[in-house]
Amino acid sequence: VSAAKGDYKHFMQKEIFEQPRALTDVLRGRIDLDHGAVLLDELTFRHQELRQLERIYAIGCGTAWHAALVAKFAIEALARLRVEVDYGSEFRYRDPLIGERAAVLAITQSGETVDTLAAMEEARRQNAKSIAIVNAVGSQAARLADGGAIYLHAGPEIGVASTKAFTTMLVASYMLALRLGAVRGVLSADEVRRYIQALIELPGKVERILERQSIYEELAERYHGARDALYLGRQVNYPIALEGALKLKEISYIHAEGYPAGEMKHGPIALIDRDLPVVCIAIRDSVYEKMISNIEQVRARGGHVIAIAAEGDTLMASKADYVIEVPPTLPLLTPVLTSIPMQLIAYHMAVHRGCDVDQPRNLAKSVTVE
């Protein structure tokens, strides 16, 4: 097993560093920059069916559920198609009204998560098609997906905490949103081309984030004794705040909560004291100013701010205790980049605390029983 890790200490670390490659592979053969088109030939829908779709139910568990939250932003923004997000474990128990012109989008690394599969079966019972965004080739989810299986081509993911599967799920979701947006006449070829160009540039930008490692060891050194941590994000980066908190919980056993920053005043603000690290995703987007004021509120109460910020944001250096920079991209695509510091913070904290990073206690890589 150690041979398979190569020069890396853990599978999770190896898989984090494989992301530039994985993000390149998920795009391969699916995009046509010259014509401004996303192909996704694996979808079995006729054009007419795609045009008539009225709703998508995006379903997943754990990290895949966070990908579903991002998919909602992408599909609603790019295809103007309504998306509801559900946990696999909740969907079938709420007697969902799927309806005829709806499809289920099941997102799953393993393709074997029982609750996600049950949601696909519920769709079938109600005569709705399902699409799977899935990593494991030939898995149950891939076979159940009568609307088509979009493979991530991320390669095997061994670490229990999902990393490269998550970021490739995001890219697969963007491609699906672009395809829907084009078919439904919401996006022009030029607009699709702009997104494709930005998607192509993501692997190199992830590479750039991965080159800067020393900050994470510094953070682990400083905060490994924390009992709790708070993660704040807004809009499309709110799911990434949730994902950052989940990662930290899963592998370092530090209690963490992800929150939409605007909700902080309705609860989590009571937790802020001198011992609380607060990870804030504060890139230059439409909610940047609001994030800045949230950061000021945290600092005013003695909390420590670790900001994930845009490259060259000099203002942030004066506002936060630590700044981790990410390169610029289109606002909707920023989660692919902001996810990387989330993974690395959790990884280094867990290593510093001596935790079993690849096999955290009580967790399974895929949950195949209810």
Q: Toward ligand G6P, which CB reaches closer, 353 or 365? A: 365
What's the rounded Cα separation, in Å, for the pair 283 and 117?
36
8 A C-beta contact, residue 139 and residue 107: no
Identity of the residue, 157 or 257, whose beta carbon is nearer to ligand G6P in the bound complex: 157
Least Å from the CB of residue 349 to ligand G6P: 17
Q: Copy the structure tokens of residue 98.
A: 């799927």
d(CA 140, CA 126): 19
Indicate the burial class of 241 (C-beta count within 10 angstroms; 0-12, 13-18, 19 or more). Answer: buried
Contacts to ligand G6P by CB under 6 A = 61-64, 108-110, 113, 116, 160-162, 363, 365-367
Do 60 and 88 form a contact (C-beta atoms < 8 A)? yes
In terms of CB distance, is 109 or 237 closer to ligand G6P?
A: 109
Cα first-last separation, the chain: 30
Q: Which is nearer to ligand G6P, 61 or 351 (CB)?
A: 61
Residue 252 burial (10 A CB sphere; 0-12, 13-18, 19+) = buried
Nearest residue to ligand G6P by CB is 62
Q: Provide the minimum distance between the beta carbon of 48 and ligand G6P in the complex, in angstroms, as a whole number.
A: 31
Shortest reach from residue 366's CB to ligand G6P, in Å:
4
State in angstroms the smallest separation of the CB of 100 from ligand G6P. 27
Q: Which is nearer to ligand G6P, 163 or 294 (CB)?
A: 163
Least Å from the CB of residue 89 to ligand G6P: 11
Q: How far is the CB of 151 from ligand G6P (least distance, A)?
A: 13
Q: Which residues are catalytic?
A: 365
The nearer residue to ligand G6P, 126 or 366, going by C-beta atoms, is 366
